[in-house]
Amino acid sequence: MTKWVYSFSASKTEGSKDQKNLLGGKGANLAEMSSLGLPVPPGFTVSTEACLDYYKQDKSISTEIRNQVYAALAEVENITGKKFGDPKNPLLFSVRSGARVSMPGMMDTVLNLGMNDETVKGLAKITDNPRFAWDSYRRFIQMFSNVVLGINTSILESQLEDLKEARGVHEDTELDAEDLAELVDVYKQILGEEFGKSFPQDPYEQLWSAVGAVFGSWNNPRAFKYRQMNGYSHDWGTAVNVQSMVFGNAGDTSGTGVCFTRDPSNGEKIFFGEYLMNAQGEDVVAGIRTPAPINEVSKNESNRNLKTLEETSKSVYDELVSIYQKLEQHYKDMQDIEFTIEDGKLFILQTRNGKRTINAALKIAIDLVAEGILTEKEALMKINPGELDRLLHPRLDPAVKKTILATGLPASPGAACGKIVFDSEVAQDWAANGTKVILVRQETSPEDIGGMNASEGILTARGGMTSHAAVVARGMGKPCVAGCTALEISYKHKVLRVSGKEFQEGDFLTFDGGTGEVYEGEIPTIDAKISDHFATFMKWADENRSLRIRTNADNPQDAQVALSFGAEGIGLCRTEHMFFDPARILAVREMIFAITEEDRKKALDKLLPYQREDFIGLFKVMDGRPVNIRLLDPPLHEFLPHKESEMQELADVLGVDVKIIEQRQESLHEFNPMLGHRGCRLGVTYPEIYNMQVRAIAEAAAEVGKSGTAVMPEIMIPLISDEKELAILKDHALSILAEVESTTNQKIKFKIGTMLELPRACITADKVAHTAEFFSFGTNDLTQTTYGLSRDDSGKFLPQYEAKGIFPVDPFVSIDQEGVGFLVEHAVKAGRSVNSELSCGICGEHGGEPESIDFCHRAGLNYVSCSPYRVPVARLAAAQANLRNS
Amino acid sequence: MTKWVYSFSASKTEGSKDQKNLLGGKGANLAEMSSLGLPVPPGFTVSTEACLDYYKQDKSISTEIRNQVYAALAEVENITGKKFGDPKNPLLFSVRSGARVSMPGMMDTVLNLGMNDETVKGLAKITDNPRFAWDSYRRFIQMFSNVVLGINTSILESQLEDLKEARGVHEDTELDAEDLAELVDVYKQILGEEFGKSFPQDPYEQLWSAVGAVFGSWNNPRAFKYRQMNGYSHDWGTAVNVQSMVFGNAGDTSGTGVCFTRDPSNGEKIFFGEYLMNAQGEDVVAGIRTPAPINEVSKNESNRNLKTLEETSKSVYDELVSIYQKLEQHYKDMQDIEFTIEDGKLFILQTRNGKRTINAALKIAIDLVAEGILTEKEALMKINPGELDRLLHPRLDPAVKKTILATGLPASPGAACGKIVFDSEVAQDWAANGTKVILVRQETSPEDIGGMNASEGILTARGGMTSHAAVVARGMGKPCVAGCTALEISYKHKVLRVSGKEFQEGDFLTFDGGTGEVYEGEIPTIDAKISDHFATFMKWADENRSLRIRTNADNPQDAQVALSFGAEGIGLCRTEHMFFDPARILAVREMIFAITEEDRKKALDKLLPYQREDFIGLFKVMDGRPVNIRLLDPPLHEFLPHKESEMQELADVLGVDVKIIEQRQESLHEFNPMLGHRGCRLGVTYPEIYNMQVRAIAEAAAEVGKSGTAVMPEIMIPLISDEKELAILKDHALSILAEVESTTNQKIKFKIGTMLELPRACITADKVAHTAEFFSFGTNDLTQTTYGLSRDDSGKFLPQYEAKGIFPVDPFVSIDQEGVGFLVEHAVKAGRSVNSELSCGICGEHGGEPESIDFCHRAGLNYVSCSPYRVPVARLAAAQANLRNS
């Protein structure tokens, strides 16, 4: 028989903190605290498996589960000496959700369950506090109506307001027991008359309905959305915690409060919190009365005149201090604790690792190590690597009021503010005159590189998390919001329409690339400050990882930034970006339009010196670290001119009619350029292009090498589907390299390998590895081909796919371990089976995403490569992956 | 030590007919004939592995191979009593290529090797025939100069002509020994003076050069091209057969000839052939003298007055008869035999299975079974399935002289002749008036279906073997030449330019879709006649196959044709073709432009009756056989209007400005439609489209079922990448089916499954199989995604890929067993591991290609599905696959 229900109490506890998946975070902690001997009101947890069973049984609770609940409930009756539904000494329960991860406020809670027309009287008598009893009953009806009956309870709340007005009072607490009893009657009447619902008097009926409602709240829209945003599975389910009530509102010796064991905003080691006497938890949240500070350090502007808990109830405070110290030692982390005082006795209702800013998180982790509570390894596991990113980018001034215009994808973090422009050339012109601009485009293309670089940030209407704009912006460390579908852009009229408003070129916009939010007007930003703890923490990370971290960088500037963030090499230098420089693009176009091989070589000869300088710059900055250079990848038509003036210029240079240019453009058109004439296919059909690039690499390596600087180029052939492509192109490269070695009389170190980005290359990796000295997984394109999914077009349906739970997370953001991962693992294994020295890395966007990095570690890759600003993220994620899997 | 050289002679033979891969076809047969005790001149074969080694050693013959040649040559000297290079009794050799498959005339041959200034005299003396000796020497120098020295020998041949003129004679045979000795001197002089080459006197030097030249000829351009056209691997290499010479030109009791054991043009059982006395083989080929018939039945117009071999040399003829019978019995096939008579003694130089027409092949196979020489199973293996196709299509009148204008891809077999038109509407108009038209397009799109159907054939400038034009034409059984890149088409001026000529709309063109050749003008075609043996042969095939054969058919007409060819079900009904009907396309466009779900449903309601009628028609024709219907697959923008008039019509119907239509068109644009919003992604985002289609299927099944006809629909969800897509869409379909069952009160049989056409679906097939009742491999798209290769764009570089040997064969023509095959095998295995009843088939174009069908058999598929005209091909290929692999 499955065990569905787990008891917790001072005398019998069946769960522990390690059972979060089964009992939820809250249930596991209640069990853990009970085992620690802390004063926790007894109760039991109905497991997440029961939740899944509930859905499987068509939203009903099975008899087996009910029976286990009866048994656990009887135990609580024994311990407390109260009875559920007993009119004389009634046992009341709180019923709360609790998933394996904290989903604050997303699911439902019912308090005071077990109140009815009889038990309210028993409670009044036994507490000698009729007002408290009726207040509890009134609250219960309100909550039950909302959570279980699904009624919008504003109509009930307005009755309360009406009553206060009628009585001429301002505070709920000024209503007496009779008032509240009257209110209960009104409530019940409204439920029946307005909604046709009867409030159930049977406590068990209340219990089953409440448990079902909590299970049901797992799939309410906001919980669903929350999981989606955070990449949590919809299949986990929630547990239900049924716990005997203690009452902070049982009178003036009762109260409720919240405390933190350290400061969540900066991590300082101070114990602070606030409390409210004669109140239940929701009163604190509702802000009806100002809570009091628990001690001196908790005082602030609004509460400085209120008495502290330390002053009013020294023994309770001292007990709380001893408990928080015990909890922090036990959980080895800063705690966020909820407590209730019932008639002078302290109860702990919940403890959890407190949320905190990333700066606070670093300080707390480092302090806990200094205090001997954590080891360095344990401390490393306490930080969410993705949050490190925030340390490196400017953010919006939180003090300024903002109006959200629209929300797109948080494609590259950081805040940006400037005048909007719709054209890359305008962006560059304005920026040259000192104007801060935001580049707004339907989508960007390689032609926009200059404009993107000149802008404060990039905002696009189409495209996903790995669209051109997103990838390039992350590489540059520029803020970017992509795929903001609410934007209607007219290039012709230079106007942006959004949310019914119009913005002309030159109007101010602001956005936050970390949240995807776009704001009206000019909002000041605050520059990033890196905390002193960052370096210490990164050092620990480096000592604990086996994956090497490289960066994707196309120029010395980006490479320099990445080095300062700890990059150990370049994992991907995209040479095509170098082709768009205004000084070169014409030669590139001449090359494309060349009819004969000779003409093509002539144009390539013009490009050679530029490329050589590019590589000299990179090699110098990288100073002996590996530099992986991908030979030309995109289809040639990406380099063609689109503007008439550019076409005419090209026609003039070539001495042909502009019609010829147009016709050639058309003949280069491809139906599916992603699957077209690109990558090594260009190298096979136009060997002179790759030959020029290899020559530039070799000559640059020879020149930098001559000056005594070590150089380690890796020449990467993209998009192979068959080993023979690589073999042919490797042969070409080897003869160029040999020639340059001989003419320069310099020995050049190099490796030649390939980018695995097509399923077939992965499947046949055992053959490819005969020729390749390294594999670099291009998981962007590998995801596109494995899924048959264009990242440029998927924006139209991916949101629905995520909403319907088909894709738990965008596969362009976090690597699809099942499908794409299968191919990666297969290729690594097959490749190493014939070449045990084979170096394997990843250079797709996944290289900077923690879950993907964990996968890369497990798959046995040697390194990950990511955009410069993700390098710290990757260093920590790699350390965590190593610790998690060793 | 590797054995590189294999002797054959009456006394010692080291090879056999089963060693074709190692010894080549010719070498294996020489060994086999020697073993049979036939009169074969002794010699030895240098293996194909030696050829590969030759290339590996940078085109040199290793010492080890040379040593083995010395030893084998010494054996031949012993047997013949002659010595290589001996001035008194010289041994001479022929040196011939021989690959594992016959590549007639593609590689090189040298005869009379061993002749030099000394041995010519010995030969003259020992044969007492100086003229013969000098003639042999002169021939040898000519051949050697051509084959080994690489000289264009027309200059030598003209010397021969000059000499004949000088002597006042017409025939070579009229020149005497002194004339020929003089010619030899002139030849040697020319070689030296004109080409700076000296003719080697050392026989061994001659031998090594000749062997090297034959190895080298493996990679000459015509051999390379031939292999490419026939899908043979470039990695096989050729063997070299070094055989002691016998001389048909040794005088009037010598001669040479060729015979066939049956008639290769119609398969009749007659022994026939021709011979030429005092001649070597090349004289027969050169047509200098008219060859004589070997017997009465071999007489024809041109040779009826010449004496037969039977008449002139009865004993030789009788020996030849007994040998041919022995050979036919031994090889169990019609033989093409080359023989030489030297001084009255018969030698067999070569035998091989004779080439024949497909009609002859069928008759011969059936006769050989009747004669007890072959079993039915063996007979089935004798026919190349691909050739059956030719039986079913019209062909060009062979008697008419033709001018080839250009050659494209042989995309769909059959000959077509008609007036060219450039527009599908014009094609339909003209065809309606009884004009035969050829539709000429850059490429076709689904909009062209009507025009294609109205045409005699389709000719396109772009696109490959699986382009839209190719696939649809094969489906229709229409001839098609695709990707004919020499065509320059101007739609605007309605003109076609090719090979410097211009053709206006209305001019005649003819083409042969079986060869890809395009001809000028009107060439009459001859209708197909199916031989009486076809049915017998197909019956045997059906008895010997385990794969079921289905067809790809979208309408009752195609289905009917396929049934007549033996189809056992429909493996793929593409519902999108049904949407292009002029009566429906407007409703389709209304559906696409609908903003609300309600509007979309309204438009779909208009389509429902049409779809229902489509399926009723199919179900009736198929009469209980499975009918696999793929729900809508292409992206919606494929259905949009392109002409202004159509856009205006749509705007009027929708009551909007035509600008709105244009804008919407643009917003539906996709960068990579192949990887875009299509297939099940449409089903997920617009459930009402699939729901309409499922309803149409269900209602049609109910209606046809009511009349007592069995119906077996299979509903296929295309393009899934994740099991959840299928699960959601299956749920939708099940509820529609249940609803129709309930409203019609009819039980409907059906299956729901999916098309596996993305790598991820194959990789995760174990999950998919939980939901799918069948898998149908869509290997067109699976090839595109596995290779990252767009079939619409690859035409630009695929030819170079084939020329460079990167792709031994176009992967869209024959399935890539290593990459795509890996995924298919993985999916079948994974799918059946969770669902042992899972039905697996293939519906890509590969389903009609014999090598691919062999793969499908081995992969354990249940069926293949192909275009109607390929059904007989598939039936035979399936039988062969079964026999080959069991």
In terms of Cα–Cα distance, which of B777, B778, B774, B762 is closest to B715? B774
| Encoded tokens for B746 | 């009819």
A672, B764: Cβ pair inside 8 Å?
A: no
Closest chain A residue by Cα to residue B785: A785
Which of A393, A468, A637, A857 is flagged as catalytic? Answer: A468
Q: Which of B781, B786, B797 sits opposite A760 (nearest CB)?
A: B786
Residue B113 CA to residue B119 CA, distance in Å, equals 11
In terms of Cα–Cα distance, which of A813, A878, A817 is closest to A410? A813
B723-744 and B687-706 helices cross at what angle (nearest 10)?
40
Tell me the chain A residues in contact with residue B784 when contact means C-beta distances shorter than 8 Å: 675
B788, A785: Cβ pair inside 8 Å?
A: yes
Interface probe with A: pick from B58, B633, B675, most Cβ of A within 10 Å: B675
Residue A292 CA to residue A213 CA, distance in Å, equals 34
Q: Which of A673, A757, A785 sits opposite B759 (nearest CB)?
A: A785
Residue A280 CA to residue B202 CA, distance in Å, equals 113
Following DSSP, what letter does each residue of B177-203 receive, concatenated? Answer: HHHHHHHHHHHHHHHHHHH-------H
Radius of gyration of chain B (CA): 32
B788, A758: Cβ pair inside 8 Å?
A: yes
Q: Which residues contact A33 (CB under 8 A, 6 or more apart)?
A: A40, A327, A348, A351
CA A234 to chain centre: 16
Task: Say which residue the tokens 């853990």 belong to.
Answer: A32
Per-residue model confidence (pLDDT) at position B172: 79
Q: State which residues of chain A have pLDDT below 50.
A: none
Which of A843, A846, A857, A866 is flagged as catalytic? Answer: A843
Residue A804 CA to residue A797 CA, distance in Å, equals 11
Tell me the chain A residues in contact with residue B794 when contact means C-beta distances shorter than 8 Å: 676-677
- In three state form, how does the secondary structure of A216-249 look? HHCCCHHHHHHHHHHCCCCCCCCEEEEEECCCCC
The answer to whether A651 touches A660, Cβ cutoff 8 Å, is yes
A785, B681: Cβ pair inside 8 Å?
A: no
Residue B583 CA to residue B607 CA, distance in Å, equals 10
A670, B790: Cβ pair inside 8 Å?
A: yes
Q: Which of B785, B804, B807 sits opposite A785 (nearest CB)?
A: B785
Q: Which residues of B are catalytic?
A: 468, 843
Interface probe with A: pick from B445, B681, B725, most Cβ of A within 10 Å: B681
Residue B309 CA to residue A439 CA, distance in Å, equals 91
Following DSSP, what letter does each residue of A9-34 receive, concatenated? Answer: SSS-----TT-HHHHHHHHHHHHHHH
For residue B684, the distance in angstroms to the closest alpha carbon of chain A comes to 8
Closest chain B residue by Cα to residue A790: B675
Closest chain A residue by Cα to residue B485: A667
A790, B672: Cβ pair inside 8 Å?
A: yes
Interface probe with B: pick from A662, A806, A816, most Cβ of B within 10 Å: A806
In terms of Cα–Cα distance, which of B416, B455, B459 is closest to B437? B455
Following DSSP, what letter does each residue of A75-97 receive, concatenated? Answer: HHHHHHS-EET-SSSEE-EEEEE
pLDDT tens-digit profile of A309-353? 999 999 999 999 999 999 999 999 999 999 999 989 999 998 888
Sequence length of chain A is: 886
In terms of Cα–Cα distance, which of B157, B158, B114, B151 is closest to B136? B114
The answer to whether A112 touches A96, Cβ cutoff 8 Å, is no
Amino acid at A705: G
For residue A139, the distance in angstroms to the closest alpha carbon of chain B comes to 41
Closest chain B residue by Cα to residue A792: B671
Interface probe with A: pick from B806, B816, B826, most Cβ of A within 10 Å: B806
Q: State which residues of chain B have pLDDT below 50.
A: none
Pairing of strands A93-98, A292-293: unpaired
A721, B672: Cβ pair inside 8 Å?
A: no
Amino acid at B689: I
B807, A759: Cβ pair inside 8 Å?
A: no
Per-residue model confidence (pLDDT) at position B103: 81
DSSP label of A58:
T
The answer to whether A111 touches A142, Cβ cutoff 8 Å, is no
Integer CA distances (angstroms), A120 to A73, A93, A115, A144, A157, in order: 20, 14, 6, 16, 20
A573 given a catalytic annotation: no
Amino acid at A177: A
Per-residue model confidence (pLDDT) at position B145: 92
Per-residue model confidence (pLDDT) at position B264: 84
Integer CA distances (angstroms), B644 to A230, B241, B594, B654, in order: 47, 69, 20, 15
∠ Cα A641 A646 A650 (to 5°): 90
B758, A786: Cβ pair inside 8 Å?
A: yes
In terms of Cα–Cα distance, which of B95, B341, B385 is closest to B240? B95
The answer to whether A558 touches A443, Cβ cutoff 8 Å, is no
In terms of Cα–Cα distance, which of A15, A53, A62, A50 is closest to A34? A15
Residue A488 CB coordination number (10 Å): 12
A677, B781: Cβ pair inside 8 Å?
A: no
Q: Which of A673, A677, A764 sits opposite B819 (nearest CB)?
A: A764
Sheet containing B109-113: which strands, arranged edge to edge? Answer: B5-8, B43-46, B239-244, B93-98, B109-113
- Give this prediction's pTM: 0.84
Per-residue model confidence (pLDDT) at position B504: 94
* Whether the predicted interface score ipTM is above 0.90: no
